[in-house]
Amino acid sequence: MRNHSLMLLAAATIGLAATQALAADLPRKAPPPAAPPPPPPITWTGCYIGANIGGIFGRGDANFNGFEVGRDNSGFTGGGQIGCDYQFAGGWVIGIRNMFNGTSLGRDRTFIDPVTGLAGTVDTHTSWFDTLTGRIGYAFAPSWLLYGQGGVAWINRRADITLAGIDFGSFDRTRTGWTAGGGVEWMFARGWSAFLEGNYMDFGDRDHTVFLGGCGVVVGGCTFSTHAKAATVLVGVNYRWGGKTPY
């Protein structure tokens, strides 16, 4: 009886070992793959370079020999910009930007000198403008930035004046003034953003003295003064790099 029990125990032990060995040979289910890490948060911190295009609307006033000539005109503008931004925790963004654009802004104006009764023309043309601005904005959504900006502006403006077929000369110079504006920018992909903005530029009054045998009733010379201002509406795209999120 005892021998029979030992034989049963031995058989059970062998069966259990065989079952364990068979289970060890069966394929095991692979563990689920690890979840990919989340993308880093969107930030406006970093630098950028880009291009823009839009419209420019100018106002040029000229006063020659007591006769004032003023004309609103418009044209196309396009160029590029480069700058850097820093975003604080909480969504506030500060930055600096330089923009350089060429323009097609220009207009001819015919007038009659009230002193001499002679016909004359004034031809004005704006070749380019350059703005250096600081800006402050608020990211009201992770990929949307609302901003305002202001700073210094330069413009190259030429004015040609002719009276009775006599060319009084070309007054071509770079003016310095101020600019202010604002806009909205959208980061539509990591490293890329697009913007829509408007700006105003004012370059104040400038006086020029012209000399001829006679200038109206004045012999020797007279003053030719001009005032220039312009506004722009621009759309553009920026490529962004660098910077880390402050969160």
Q: Write the burial class of residue 94 (CB in 10 Å: 0-12 exposed, 13-18 middle, 19+ buried).
A: middle
Please name the amino acid found at residue 237: V
Per-residue pLDDT tens, the chain, 247 aa: give them: 555 555 555 555 655 555 655 555 545 666 667 666 656 678 999 999 999 999 999 876 666 555 555 567 889 999 999 999 999 988 999 999 999 999 998 766 666 666 666 676 766 778 899 999 999 999 999 899 999 999 999 998 776 666 666 656 556 678 899 999 999 999 999 899 999 999 999 988 766 555 544 444 443 445 556 677 899 999 999 999 987 654 4
Residues belonging to the chain: 247
Q: Phi, psi (5° rounding) for residue 12?
A: -65, -40
Helix (H) or strand (E) holding 9: helix 2-25
C-alpha span between 149 and 95 (Å, rounded) = 9
- Write down the pTM of the prediction: 0.70
Is the CB of residue 228 less than 8 Å from the CB of residue 183? no
Domains of the chain, earliest start first: 46-241 (2.40.160.20)
**Rg of the chain on CA atoms, in Å:** 37
- At residue 125, the pLDDT reads 78
DSSP state of 244: -
Bridge partners, 102 (sequence order): 78, 128
Q: Which of 158, 168, 157, 156 is nearest to 65 (CA)?
A: 168
- At residue 63, the pLDDT reads 60
Is the CB of residue 200 less than 8 Å from the CB of residue 179? yes
- At residue 220, the pLDDT reads 43
Is the CB of residue 193 less than 8 Å from the CB of residue 184? no
